[in-house]
Amino acid sequence: MSVDLRDIGVTLGGRAVLAGVSARLTEPRVGIVGRNGSGKTTLARVIAGLITPDAGQARIGGTDMAGDRRAALHNVGIIFQNPDHQIIFPTVLEEIAFGLAQQGRRAKDAEAEARAMLDRFGKAHWAMAATHSLSQGQKQLLCLMAVLAMQPGVIVMDEPFSGLDIPTRLQLMRYLDGIAAQVVMVTHDPHQLCGFDRILWLEGGRLIADGPADRVLPDFETQMHDWGGLDDLAHLAG
């Protein structure tokens, strides 16, 4: 899979939130970093086909995300920061089976595949569990399983681990390691991008760096600490 961003521009409330963002992403693990308000979530939503850019085009595997909703749903899985915004069904099994049914599986097949996914993560005993009874970390794992079951080529994650304790975050990151799909992850925490192949750094809606993690992340961290040391709040994003 590849994500092809061509001169993306997004204007919200009369303000350019993204401008001139171009990148062709073919690497398995891509991180998007930047300060609060730099446009990371907006870019993630453009990649996922949830926002149609005012300028330019986002293509995944050659498909225009804004133009072909069905293909978009098939190609991209999305994981947000708050799993409560994502989970809609009362039981774990229903939650995972839903996406499969949406993709056209018969109910019985969708359920069998959902059970197979639970098995793969050693969570067969969760099938009938009430989704509202799961912890935040368990809910995030459920979202991950539901997305993986649909076998998307690309998974877009927007701050998927914030709010989780360190062991839960490390466990979920390990689950990610074994995933074949391309992962595009938004975070302001460079430590969550350990082992990533490529980093896009957004500042004020523009790409100010784009390259290998071992080059971009140290610069990003240094700059964040420099800005953090300033007392002049005029330097705050937004």
Ligand X SMILES: Nc1ncnc2c1ncn2[C@@H]1O[C@H](COP(=O)(O)OP(=O)(O)OP(=O)(O)O)[C@@H](O)[C@H]1O
Q: By the criterion CB under 6 A, which residues form the site for ligand X?
A: 12-13, 15, 17, 34, 36-42, 188, 238
Min CB(25)–ligand X separation in Å: 18
Nearest one of 172, 178, 199 to 187, comparing CA atoms? 199
- The C-alpha atoms of residue 64 and residue 61 are separated, in whole angstroms, by 9
- The C-alpha atoms of residue 208 and residue 16 are separated, in whole angstroms, by 16
Min CB(101)–ligand X separation in Å: 31
Cβ closest to ligand X, residue 18 vs residue 181: 18
What is the distance between the terminal CA atoms of the chain, rounded to a whole angstrom?
Answer: 33
Cβ closest to ligand X, residue 33 vs residue 144: 33
Cβ closest to ligand X, residue 81 vs residue 131: 81
Sheet (strand 76-79) strand order: 76-79, 154-158, 182-186, 29-34, 198-203, 206-212
Residue the block writes with tokens 């192949």: 197
- The C-alpha atoms of residue 116 and residue 148 are separated, in whole angstroms, by 11
Cβ closest to ligand X, residue 13 vs residue 167: 13
Min CB(22)–ligand X separation in Å: 17
Cβ closest to ligand X, residue 42 vs residue 192: 42
Q: 235 Cβ partners below 8 Å, 6+ apart?
A: 227
Min CB(59)–ligand X separation in Å: 20
Cβ closest to ligand X, residue 25 vs residue 43: 43
Min CB(233)–ligand X separation in Å: 15
- The C-alpha atoms of residue 43 and residue 48 are separated, in whole angstroms, by 9
Which residue type does 226 have? D
Min CB(10)–ligand X separation in Å: 8
Backbone angles phi, psi at 200, to 5 degrees: -105, 130
